[in-house]
Amino acid sequence: MIKLEKDEHLILEVRKHWFFLLTEICLAIIFILLPILLFPILEGLGLKVNTPSLSLAFFIYSLWVLTIWVIVFVFWTKQYLDLWIVTNHKIFAIEQHGLFKREVSMIHYEKIQDITYDVDGLIPSLFNFGNLYVQTAGSERNFEIRGIKDPSYIQRKLNEILLKKEISS
Bridge pairing between strands 143-149 and 129-136: antiparallel
Q: What is the pTM of this model?
A: 0.77
| Run of H or E including 19 | helix 18-44
What's the pLDDT score for residue 99?
86
- pLDDT number for residue 60: 87
pLDDT at residue 51 is higher than 70: no
Instruction: For 110-139, write each residue's pLDDT tens digit.
Output: 889 899 999 999 999 999 999 999 998 777
Task: Express each pLDDT in 15-42 by its tens digit.
Answer: 999 999 999 999 999 999 998 888 777 7
> How many Å from the N-terminal Cα to the C-terminal Cα in the chain?
30
pLDDT surpasses 90 at 69: yes
Instruction: Calculate mean pLDDT across residues 80-92.
Output: 91
- Assess whether pLDDT exceeds 70 at residue 1: no
Instruction: Tell me the mean pLDDT in the region 142-156.
Output: 92
